[in-house]
């Protein structure tokens, strides 16, 4: 007789990417929206990436860094909400959840 397989690990978020540090690093280093996409906030992530690219060229990178920083903090807090079992919407920001 074989033993039953272990239960799957709990993942609080869509796509299984609810690690706050991973989301923070991805948003900070990759165009400000990749972590949001991994959390299931696809439209929000795409908008952040488009804003990052446009601002990169318009402001020589100064404002795009600000977008990445804000997105990193937001992604970190959203991932924490998922870890605590709170659902997040497509356009929730920081500690907001529905």
pLDDT-derived band at 8 (thresholds 50, 70, 90) equals: very low
Percent above pLDDT 70 for the chain? 82
Report yes or no on 27 lying in a domain.
Answer: yes
Give the model confidence (pLDDT) of 29-76 as tens digits. Answer: 988 899 999 999 999 999 999 999 999 999 988 899 999 999 999 999
pLDDT of residue 56: 92
pTM: 0.76
Distance CA 36, CA 15 (A): 11
Report yes or no on 44 lying in a domain.
Answer: yes
Structural domain harbouring 21: 17-83
Q: Is the pLDDT of residue 89 over 70?
A: yes
Q: In degrees, to the nearest 5, what angle opens at C-alpha 33 toward C-alphas 31 and 69?
A: 70
Those residues with Cβ within 8 angstroms of residue 66's Cβ, 6 or more apart along the chain or in another chain: 55
Structure tokens at 37: 């996409």
Query: Count of domains in the chain?
Result: 1
Report yes or no on 30 lying in a domain.
Answer: yes
Report yes or no on 31 lying in a domain.
Answer: yes
Report yes or no on 6 lying in a domain.
Answer: no
What are phi and psi for residue 12, nearest 5 degrees?
-80, -10
């Amino acid at each position: 007789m074989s033993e039953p397989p272990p239960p799957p690990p709990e993942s609080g978020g869509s796509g299984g990417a609810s690690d706050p540090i991973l989301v923070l690093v991805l948003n900070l280093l990759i165009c400000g929206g990749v972590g949001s996409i991994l959390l299931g906030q696809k439209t929000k992530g795409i908008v952040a990436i488009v804003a990052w690219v446009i601002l990169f060229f318009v402001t020589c990178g100064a404002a795009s860094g600000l977008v990445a920083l804000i997105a990193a903090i937001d992604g970190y807090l959203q991932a924490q909400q998922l870890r605590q079992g709170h659902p997040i919407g497509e356009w929730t920001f920081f500690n907001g959840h529905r």
